């Protein structure tokens, strides 16, 4: 019997579209409405910058709602008991769910571009932004996935780490401020969010490898926890 819940994939996709997909749709509609109202001049220059800004602002929210409580909700509310009494592997189930989130994130830039196209006329999809947002999902989504296998406040902790990293990154880039050794260490062990910012310069080969290995490490660690830590652990039966 298969332990990969392939037959459950349509249900997972449906849940994702009805929750996270609707948020994406709402943001896209908002972009369309705002864009046609402000009447940008010239429109061709406004478009790419607009997409970049909206992607930067909304990708964080979308990653948080795509991965927030991904495991911890099922554990905390006891749903796991009816799910995993069936021939389903918990790591594969949640990996499938996490990958669907990645798929949804891949539609973010095309969705925004479509909204701009409708408002401004023909507007090309910026595929480099699609890659950037996927790398961002790999890092932040992977981090929240890992935290979610252990703690309930996964998205909040993930957000705090992201914001602390942003603050440390700002201090580091300031010529008048020297980051203490401890905070320099913290900055270095945190996921390299600065490399996947939509406005950052193109990634070099080693930087891309660093991001990919770090993200893959987070996801693999999450899967390892799901494999070795029983789902009922950490509370009364």
Q: Contact positions toward another protein, by CB under 8 A?
A: 1-3, 5, 7-8, 10-11, 77-89, 230-233, 236-237
Sequence-separated (6 or more) residues with CB below 8 Å from residue 205: none
CB of 231 to another protein, least distance (A): 5
CB of 66 to another protein, least distance (A): 18
Nearer to another protein, 97 or 165 (CB): 97
Length of the chain: 237
CB of 64 to another protein, least distance (A): 20
Tokens found for residue 138: 């790999």
CB of 95 to another protein, least distance (A): 14
Nearer to another protein, 83 or 212 (CB): 83
CB of 79 to another protein, least distance (A): 5
CB of 233 to another protein, least distance (A): 7
Sequence-separated (6 or more) residues with CB below 8 Å from residue 114: 28, 123
Which letter, b or e, does each residue of 127-151 get, where b requires 16 or more Cβ atoms within 10 Å of its Cβ? eebbebbbbbbbbbbbbbbbbbbbe
Nearer to another protein, 2 or 128 (CB): 2
Nearer to another protein, 3 or 178 (CB): 3
Nearest to 84 by CA among 8, 10, 22: 8
Nearer to another protein, 6 or 189 (CB): 6
Structure-derived torsion over alpha carbons of residues 108, 110, 115, 117, reported in degrees to the nearest 10: 160
Residue 74 CA to residue 76 CA, distance in Å, equals: 6
Tokens found for residue 2: 């298969």
Residue 166 CA to residue 13 CA, distance in Å, equals: 32
Nearer to another protein, 83 or 220 (CB): 83
């Amino acid at each position: 019997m298969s332990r990969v819940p392939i037959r459950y994939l349509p249900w997972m996709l449906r849940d994702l579209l009805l929750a996270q997909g609707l948020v994406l749709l709402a943001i896209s509609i908002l972009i369309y409405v705002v864009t046609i109202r402000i009447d940008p001049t010239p429109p061709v220059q406004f478009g790419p910058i607009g997409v970049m800004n909206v992607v930067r602002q909304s990708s964080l929210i979308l990653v948080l709602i795509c991965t927030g409580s991904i495991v911890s909700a099922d554990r905390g509310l006891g749903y796991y008991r009816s799910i995993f009494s069936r021939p389903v592997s918990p790591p594969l189930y949640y990996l499938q769910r996490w990958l669907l989130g990645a798929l949804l994130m891949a539609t973010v830039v095309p969705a925004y571009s479509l909204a701009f196209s409708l408002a401004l006329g023909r507007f090309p999809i910026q595929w480099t932004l699609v890659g950037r947002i996927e790398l961002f999902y790999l890092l932040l989504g992977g981090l929240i996935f890992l935290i979610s296998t252990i703690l309930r406040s996964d998205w909040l902790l993930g957000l705090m780490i992201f914001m602390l990293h942003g603050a440390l990154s700002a201090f580091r880039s300031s010529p008048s401020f020297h980051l203490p050794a401890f905070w320099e260490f913290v900055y270095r062990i945190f996921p390299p969010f600065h490399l996947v910012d939509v406005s950052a310069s193109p990634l070099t080969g080693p930087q891309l490898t660093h991001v990919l290995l770090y993200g893959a490490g987070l996801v693999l660690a999450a899967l390892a926890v799901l494999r070795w830590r029983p789902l009922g652990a950490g509370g009364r039966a």
